[in-house]
Amino acid sequence: MDINQYLEIFIEEAQEHLQNLNQNLLGLENNPNDNNLLNEIFRSAHTLKGMAGTMGFNAIMNLTHEMENILDEVRNGRLTINSGILDVLFECLDFLEGSVNCISETGKEMDKNIDPLKNKLNNIIYNKDLPAHERQDADNSVAISNFALNQYDENIIVQALAQGMKVFKIEVILSKDCMLKSARAFLVFKSLEKYAEVFKSFPSVEDIEDEKFDNNFKLAVITSEGKDKVKDDLMSISEIDEIVIEELKEVTKAFEASSKEVAVAEAEQVEENKEDSEEAHAKKNKIGKTVRVDINRLDNLMNLVSELIIIKTRLEGVDSDTRDQNMTEAVEYLERITTNLHDAVMKVRMVPIERVFNRFPRMVRDLSRELGKEVNLHISGEETELDRTVIDEIGDPLIHLIRNAIDHGIEDKQERINNKKVPAGSVALRAFQDGNSVVIEVEDDGKGINVSKVKKKAVENKLISQAEAGALNEKEAVDLLFRPGFSTADVVSDVSGRGVGLDVVKTKIESLGGTVEVETSANAGSKFIIRLPLTLAIIQALLVTIGSEKYAIPLNSIKEITSIEKNSIRIVQGQEVILYRNGVLPIVRLSHVLDVKDDEKDSNELTVVIVKKGEKSSGFIVDSLIGQQEIVIKSLGKYLAGIRNIAGATILGDGQVALIIDSNSMI
């Protein structure tokens, strides 16, 4: 059987399980006693192990198996969750994510040795890497926590005790300079077999034979001999430093008592879990009614709908005098159908922004620990939907904004206390729909943007002169942060200082047809506001003429349309402006910007389309208006890519091509 046909399914499902592991481990860090979270983590790890084993990805399978051992110890109450254990589990998760990404790119696992991670996990079980106050007593080093006893083992112990036999747990500690550990272990087993039965070992017999253990191993045996006899026999073997023996009778009672406590606790949670189980069952049924579709197929479907809209527009453009009643009704019906079809396809392409937001809690945790700051992330509006193409591109800008908020915005703990703030900083990540746009906000309660420092750095970097810096208002100064290579960091670090973060944010957001705004207040924090279109494929636009050419201006960027008189235009610092609604409105002559010969009119009246970009506005002078129309955005292709002031093109109903104006680049 060729398993490569299932590779894409494995990658998608593995990424889902890894995301669940990330979220639930973060939840477990805040609620260490939440058994539901622990069970979810165990299920995800177990499922991932099975999937990896089926596909032949042994490194993932082996590592998740070792993770299961830790989780099982915690689940059975033999190990307590702490920051040390969670750090190792997160480290394992990073390896798993890297390996799955490598599989998606190359079809093969990441070529990295997992033994160091496996050793860390084993050391947790051996209690070697835990803090001193969390270690078990040395005299109790063979306690029940080192044995994952199952029901079968329990039955063996109960039957042995009933027959008057003795059950011992034995820890064999070898010399540090022991050369042949497996050979010494073989002698131990050989010696015990004369009068005892070994029914449990830790690690497994196979691992002991392969020397996959440190300088000690543990055994559970049934014998009629006394403790002293067993200890003396084993100590007679060379290169053994110590033998620790404990009778299992009392531990078994403790185990039984513990089992009863767990049973009582589980019984008390039955009612609480009943509702959760019903929700999980409903969710499972819902998932069962979904189907995975390749994004390329959706793109193809969208292209077909786009062509249908173009034909519909062409039919609408047919002279009404040449159409009979039936033709008119058919065109109207086609318009309704294409509108509904477009809405349906758009809904299929829409994806909750949650899939982007889910990666940030882990990032904030790691970054706050790296910088030594306390930071809480608050997410809201994750159910807000965006087009899949936008979702795939929005991740990087948000990463830069959140890193920027934690590094530059949030103060150190002591500084916050001195400023009479709570010690832990806060970063809010919100998303909500506003008309035909989606707004994403990244807000922190830090120190805000130091405008004086921004101006000073800009002058030092020779981006502006000292005179220009003095003339800048606060908003204009903040906009300097988006300049390529600009940074207010005094020292270059792993997190910031190279001046690429906000430059990347602005470039990416504007390439998606969106805008970025900044609001800041000293000692109160900053807010970055991203506004994005719902879709990048089909939009409403205003068609205008400039000279003999037709152009389209996206409707969501248009504020209003008005007319002005030629003699009302004034020139201020080389820029044409008019006084409009008690403010100064910059004027842009599109015929000059686009190098189009405009119609020479004797009329004193000019048509102006006022467009907005955040709080800024400009007036575009056009020759005439054609009207509002639904247009399909087409790429200009690689040879014409990057042309300034043009966002793309569209095909009109009569077959002509109209260029789409990029208003953001002109304001």
Whether residue 424 is contained in a domain is answered as: yes
Residue 275 within a domain: no
* Euclidean distance between CA atoms 325 and 360, whole angstroms: 58
CATH number, position 319: 1.10.287.560
Query: Does 287 map to a domain?
Result: no
Q: Is residue 527 part of a domain?
A: yes
User: Which of these is catalytic: 46, 62, 354, 358?
Assistant: 46
Residue 634, phi then psi, degrees to nearest 5: -115, 140
Number of domains in the chain: 5
Backbone angles phi, psi at 178, to 5 degrees: -65, 125
Could you tell me if 243 and 155 lie in one domain?
yes
Q: Residues 518, 655: one domain?
A: no
CA distances from 335 to 313, 330, 498, 639 (A): 9, 9, 52, 34
Contact 643, 636 (CB under 8 A): yes
| 68 given a catalytic annotation | yes
Give domain status of residue 139, yes or no.
no
Among 24, 146, 404, 556, which one carries the catalytic annotation?
404
Q: Is 641 left (phi over 0), alpha (psi -120 to 50) or beta?
A: beta
Residues 517 and 556 in one domain: no
Q: Are residues 160 and 191 in the same domain?
A: yes
Instruction: Check: CB of residue 79 under 8 Å from CB of residue 134.
Output: no
- Asked whether residue 290 is domain-assigned, the answer is no
Kindly state whether residues 347 and 362 are assigned to the same domain.
no
pLDDT in tens, 164-219: 888 888 888 988 888 788 888 888 888 888 888 888 888 777 778 878 787 888 88
Q: What is the DSSP letter of 320?
A: G
For position 71, which CATH number holds? 1.20.120.160
Using alpha carbons, select from 519, 399, 522, 343 the residue that is nearest to residue 450.
522
Burial pattern 644-664, b for ≥16 Cβ within 10 A else e, equals: eebbbbbbbbeeeebbbbbbb
Q: What is the mean pLDDT of each run of 10 residues along the chain (667 residues)?
A: 69 88 88 86 87 86 88 81 86 91 86 84 64 38 46 72 85 85 87 86 79 83 88 88 79 43 45 49 47 76 81 73 75 83 80 88 88 91 85 87 90 89 92 84 91 86 82 84 72 50 82 86 90 76 91 90 91 89 90 80 84 86 89 77 81 83 83
* Residue spans of alpha helices (H) in 193-241: 205-209, 227-235
Same structural domain, 106 and 152: no
Residue range of the domain that includes 364 = 354-533
Q: Is residue 278 part of a domain?
A: no
Distance CA 375, CA 406 (A): 7
**pLDDT at position 536:** 64
Please state whether beta strands 425-434 and 375-380 pair in parallel, antiparallel, or not at all (unpaired): parallel
**Cα 447 from Cα 457, distance rounded (Å):** 18
Domain of residue 603, CATH code: 2.40.50.180
Domain stops at, among 352, 378, 393: 352
Q: Look at residue 247 in the predicted model and tell me its pLDDT.
A: 82
Of 216, 234, 260, the one marking the end of a domain is 260
Cα 478 to the center of its chain, rounded Å: 28
**38 and 48 share one domain:** yes
What CATH number does the domain containing 149 carry?
3.30.70.1110
From 260, 287, 314, the end of a domain falls on 260
Whether residue 564 sits in one domain with residue 518 = no
- Asked whether the beta carbons of 298 and 349 are under 8 A apart, the reply is yes
Catalytic residue among 68, 97, 109, 441: 68
CATH number for the domain that contains residue 432: 3.30.565.10
Separation between Cα atoms, residue 649 and residue 635, nearest integer Å:
6
Calculate the CA 2 to chain-centre distance: 32
In a domain, 274, yes or no: no
User: 46 an active-site residue?
Assistant: yes
515 and 619 share a domain?
no
Q: How far apart are CA 160 and CA 154, in angstroms?
A: 10
Looking at the fold, whether 316 and 232 belong to one and the same domain comes out as no
Closest CA to 28 of 117, 76, 90, 97: 90
- Cis amide bond preceding 203, omega within 30: yes
Mark whether 522 and 563 lie in a shared domain: no
Output the pLDDT for position 445.
92
